[in-house]
């Protein structure tokens, strides 16, 4: 569900179990629940808490954990950093990277925090007005001068006044 919506009236554990709705084996469900608690130990300590009374970071962890309960090969994350403290964002991205490497789960990430997205991604696409205007290895995108200027807020030479900041020094070559 978009925006890390949890079922507010359910506990954290009940929210997680809704992700296993299509699973048949109770042993698989129990194993997946334990895996989620291993990656998100904070959820284990809060498992009996009503989701509405948990922090934004805990709700984001719950939403990711709920998705993992279905044992997916791919997970789409829409703005996982939205509304979270920087420390929690870092923690969530570290866990996502760990899940990608250890559990071989592919994450498709839609994120406006370009710095964070490119730091943790292997490959990236830059969209402008619904069109993919650039793609490549995340490290290549992060070092691209156009990406630095237009999306990362660095580069483009020395800026001396607010008027210079308001208007681009270079045009986005990919826009018509």
pLDDT tens-digit series, residues 70-126: 999 999 998 888 888 888 889 889 999 999 999 999 999 998 888 889 999 999 998
Q: Calculate the alpha carbon distances from 71 to 51, 104, 174 in Å.
A: 22, 11, 39
Q: Is residue 128 part of a domain?
A: no
Domain that holds residue 40: 2-121
Residue 78 included in any domain: yes
State the average pLDDT for the chain.
85
Q: What are phi and psi of 108, to 5 degrees?
A: -100, 115
pLDDT at 167: 47
Which two three-digit tokens encode residue 126? 């830059």
Residues 21 and 95 in one domain: yes
In this structure, are strands 123-128 and 131-137 parallel, antiparallel, or unpaired?
Answer: antiparallel
Segments of 6-120 assigned E as strands: 74-78, 106-110
Q: What is the pLDDT of residues 154-171, one digit of tens each?
A: 765 554 444 444 444 555
Tokens at residue 49, please? 């808490």
Handedness of CA 96, 73, 101, 110 (dihedral sign): negative
Query: Do 106 and 158 fall within a single domain?
Result: no
Residue 175 placed within a domain: yes
If asked whether residues 30 and 64 sit together in one domain, one would say yes
Q: Are residues 110 and 150 in the same domain?
A: no
Q: Give the span between the Cα atoms of 150 and 44, in whole angstroms.
A: 41
How many domains does one find in the chain?
2
Among residues 93, 2, 95, the alpha carbon closest in space to that of 43 is found at: 95
Single pTM value for the model: 0.78
What angle (nearest 5°) sits at the alpha carbon of residue 67, between those of residues 46 and 79?
90
CATH number of the domain enclosing 65: 3.40.50.300
Domain membership flag for residue 46: yes
Question: Do 18 and 86 belong to one domain?
Answer: yes
Q: Residues 42, 113: one domain?
A: yes
- For residue 102, being part of any structural domain is answered with yes
């Amino acid at each position: 569900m978009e925006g890390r919506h949890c079922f507010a009236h359910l506990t954290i554990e009940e929210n997680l179990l809704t992700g296993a709705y299509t699973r048949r084996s109770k042993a698989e469900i129990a194993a997946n629940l334990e895996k989620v608690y291993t990656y998100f130990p904070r959820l284990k300590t809060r498992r009996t808490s009503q989701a509405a009374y948990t922090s934004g970071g805990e709700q984001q962890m719950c939403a990711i954990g709920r998705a993992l309960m279905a044992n997916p090969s791919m997970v789409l994350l829409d703005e996982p950093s939205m509304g979270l403290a920087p420390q929690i964002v870092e923690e969530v991205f570290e866990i996502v990277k760990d899940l990608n490497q250890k559990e071989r789960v592919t994450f498709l990430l839609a994120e406006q925090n370009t710095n964070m997205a490119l730091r943790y991604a292997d490959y990236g696409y830059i969209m402008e007005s619904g069109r993919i205007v650039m793609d490549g290895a995340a490290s290549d995108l992060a070092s691209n001068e156009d990406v630095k200027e237009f999306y990362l807020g660095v580069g483009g030479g020395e800026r001396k006044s607010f008027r210079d900041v308001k208007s681009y020094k270079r045009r986005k070559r990919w826009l018509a």
